[in-house]
Structure 1
Amino acid sequence: MTIEIRALTFDCIIGILDFERVTPQRVVIDTVIDYDYDGEQFLDYAAIAAHIRTRMREGEFALVETALQVLTDTLKISFPAIKSLSITIAKPDILPDCRVSVTKKSNF
């Protein structure tokens, strides 16, 4: 089975520029999760979305890459049924003429 959480949008502190360290900015997160469904065990997508939102807001990450690694590690610990995971963090407002994003793909 595959769960897709698309366009999870919220504000958080992320980035290395001076203003990014004090002013929350909008991020948009896309996540694709593959897991084995045995007819009983399932993954709660609302809990996954809440996990991502909470970790991002609490982390106040300097680098998107660090945020991606922390999300990958903590999602796998909190939801051990995950078999593969792709997470994209976009900062749509950081540059005036484009949307910048970084993706991490993991297989477990």
Structure 2
Amino acid sequence: MVVETGKISIRDLEFSCIIGTLPFERENEQPVVMNISVWLDFTLAARNEDLAHSIDYVQLADDVQDFVCKSRFQLEETLVVETAKHILNHYPKTVAAEVSVRKPLAIPQSAGAESSIKIIR
């Protein structure tokens, strides 16, 4: 049997949340930009054109945003690791998850500070 492992990606998911270690970051939301990729077997979804065999990326985006906003992480590193674990725990079809986050306002003279992780089951 051939396994058709595919990747679903959500690019530049923008929202504001509490993230950071500095006192003002613990009190005020700031913008973040996330990229999310998940790998899963596309075989049944492609054969049947049935979303039940895949992942609803709108639901995934909403779920990740809700998870991150409720968690109020201090470090980007913690945010990406815990978000990838959350995806693997809540989306059992997923065989790997890659998450990156960028704080575009973190370094004024740059496009921001970014962290990423890829976790494979």
Larger radius of gyration: 2
Q: What is the one-letter code of the residue matched to 2:118?
A: K
Report the residue type matching 2:18 in the other structure: I
After the TM superposition, which segments of 4 or more aligned residues of structure 1 sit over 4 Å from their partners?
Answer: none
Candidates 1, 4, 11, aligned match of 2:9: 4
- Residue 53 of structure 1 aligns with which residue? 65
The structure that is helix-richer by fraction is 2
The AA in structure 1 aligned to 2:65 is R
* TM score, norm. by length of structure 2: 0.85
Q: Write 1 or 2 for the structure with the bigger share of strand.
A: 1
SS in 2 for 1:89: strand
Q: How many pairs are equivalent? A: 108
1:75 to 60, 80, 87: 87
Percent of matched pairs sharing the same residue:
27
Q: Distance in 2 between matches of 1:103 and 1:7?
A: 13
Partner Cα distance (1:76, 1:86) in 2: 10
Which secondary structure does the structure 2 equivalent of 1:9 belong to? Answer: strand
Offset at residue 39 of structure 1 (A): 2.0
- How far 1:32 moved relative to its partner? 1.4
Secondary structure in structure 1 of the residue aligned to 2:92: coil
Gaps of 5+ in 1: none
The one-letter code matched in structure 2 to 1:12 is C
Partner residue, 1:35: 40
- Rounded to whole Å, the distance in 2 between the matches of 1:69 and 1:85 is 10
Query: What amino acid is aligned across from residue 10 of structure 2 in structure 1?
Result: I
Q: Distance in 1 between matches of 2:116 and 2:109?
A: 20
Match of residue 26 from structure 1: 31
Aligned partner of residue 93 in structure 1, secondary structure:
coil
How far apart in 2 are the matches of 1:39 and 1:105?
Answer: 24
Structure 1 counterpart of 2:75: 63
